[in-house]
């Protein structure tokens, strides 16, 4: 049976990217060796690194003065790298979910970290709007897409202090005005590459401003100044990222990714809103285009397990909601074809007919 992959992360990647990566594992560039068994400093791998960075800059239209670095440790390690590198006295955080909260918690180890606003009161189902960013903060940290709760900040907001964003789960799903940010980071395994590599886009002249000593490996300058080759980088995930960036470019870039994301989201939210058996959990104006959360309507609560089984029998994979919210979550990343969303919508319609 055909499977429709709605996994939240690690998640769907374009088939072509997986095949090209598999080929590089078997015989890289026709050199008769696997990419897994050559030096990261070989000219063949250096070309991969250079192309991945160049495509990052091209696709996101990154202005001069920014570095793109690849490191390990996941987005979770960025939760400490950010304050290590940017927090001198005080940082401000917008608490929009589990990941934002973890980032905030980590920053508290480095200085004063204030929660500017939180949507915890309503199980993170909305993005707080009326908040004031303290002008004496070293930076303001946001999580643009809340992977678990299905809310998203799709506009590049204006901030009176340097803006830093965790874009783990919506990078390359829309054009971004990078000039508005001092740092953008994310784990690759949602919308970019397999797990194991983390990207950071950092404004060079914002580095080296804090008075503390930064461990070498946690200093963005180490990676920026050495082209992400200070130590052995995660070569295979970087290779897959490069192939995925080529794929995005060939499809029409981030504008096309955004068009597709809107098309998928409109189709699925449309059905959630139409079908009396279901309801969405996120505030309509803050709905994520990437992670679409929904539950059974209150009067049909007891049908949850039945719908899950039915959807699975029709090939849906990974639609179980996160344990902190329940219900269902359809992650609709760049590589997800509209056909998969249509299959899920058909499933919801058929389930309604049967009940």
Q: Compare residues 166 and 293 and give the one whose CB is closer to ligand PLP.
A: 166
Least CB distance to ligand PLP at residue 250 (A): 26
Cβ contacts of residue 19 below 8 Å, gap of 6+?
A: none
Regarding 9 and contact with ligand PLP (CB under 6 A), the answer is yes
Least CB distance to ligand PLP at residue 10 (A): 9
What's the DSSP call for residue 72? Answer: S
Q: Compare residues 28 and 139 and give the one whose CB is closer to ligand PLP.
A: 139
Q: Which stretch binds ligand PLP (CB under 6 A): 24-32, 128-136, 161-169, 238-246?
A: 161-169
Pick from 74, 111, 227, 318: which binds ligand PLP (CB under 6 A)? 74
Regarding 106 and contact with ligand PLP (CB under 6 A), the answer is no
Long-range contacts from 305-312, C-beta under 8 angstroms, 24+ separation: 306/351, 307/277, 307/348, 307/351, 310/347, 310/350, 310/351, 311/344, 311/347, 311/351
Regarding 101 and contact with ligand PLP (CB under 6 A), the answer is no
Instruction: Give the full edge-to-edge strand order of the sheet including 163-166.
Output: 66-71, 198-203, 183-187, 163-166, 140-143, 90-95, 112-118
Pick from 56, 99, 172, 328: which binds ligand PLP (CB under 6 A)? 99
Q: Compare residues 67 and 331 and give the one whose CB is closer to ligand PLP.
A: 331
Regarding 166 and contact with ligand PLP (CB under 6 A), the answer is yes
Catalytic pick among 138, 170, 190, 203: 190
Within the chain, residue ranges assigned H as helices are 15-26, 43-59, 74-86, 98-107, 220-225, 235-251, 253-274, 304-313, 338-354
CA angle at residue 320 from 317 to 322, to 5 degrees? Answer: 135
List residues with catalytic annotation.
99, 166, 190
Site residues (vs ligand PLP, CB under 6 A): 9, 74-76, 99, 143, 147, 166, 168-169, 187, 190
């Amino acid at each position: 049976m055909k499977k429709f992959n709605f996994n939240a992360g690690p998640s769907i990647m374009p088939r072509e990217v997986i095949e090209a990566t598999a080929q590089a594992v078997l015989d890289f560039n026709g050199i008769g060796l696997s990419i897994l068994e050559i030096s990261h400093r070989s000219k063949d791998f250096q070309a991969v690194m250079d192309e991945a960075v160049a495509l990052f800059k091209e696709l996101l239209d990154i202005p001069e003065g920014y570095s793109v670095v690849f490191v390990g440790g996941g987005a979770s390690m960025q939760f400490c790298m950010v304050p290590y590198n940017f927090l001198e006295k005080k940082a401000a955080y917008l608490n929009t979910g589990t990941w934002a909260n973890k980032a905030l918690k980590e920053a508290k180890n480095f200085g004063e970290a204030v929660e500017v606003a939180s949507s915890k009161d309503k199980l993170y189902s909305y993005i707080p709007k009326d908040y004031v960013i303290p002008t004496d903060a070293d930076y303001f940290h946001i999580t643009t897409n809340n992977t678990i709760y299905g809310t998203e900040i799709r506009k590049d907001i204006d901030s009176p202090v340097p803006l830093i964003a965790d874009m783990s789960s919506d990078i390359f799903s829309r054009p971004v005005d990078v000039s508005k940010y001092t740092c953008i980071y994310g784990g690759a395994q949602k919308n970019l590459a397999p797990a194991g590599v983390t990207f950071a886009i950092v404004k060079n002249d914002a580095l080296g401003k804090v008075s503390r000593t930064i461990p070498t490996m946690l200093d963005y300058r180490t990676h920026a100044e050495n082209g992400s080759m200070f130590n052995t980088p995660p070569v295979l995930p970087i290779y897959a990222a490069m192939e995925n960036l080529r794929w995005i470019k060939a499809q029409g870039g981030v504008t096309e990714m955004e068009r597709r994301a809107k098309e998928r989201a409109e189709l699925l939210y449309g059905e959630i809103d139409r079908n009396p058996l279901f309801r969405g959990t996120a505030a309509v104006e803050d709905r994520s285009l990437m992670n679409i959360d929904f539950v059974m309507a209150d009067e049909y609560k007891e049908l949850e397990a039945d719908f899950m089984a039915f959807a699975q029998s029709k090939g849906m994979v990974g639609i179980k909601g996160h344990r902190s919210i329940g219900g269902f979550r359809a992650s609709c990343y760049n590589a997800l074809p509209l056909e998969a969303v249509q299959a899920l919508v058909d499933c919801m319609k058929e389930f309604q007919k049967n009940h």
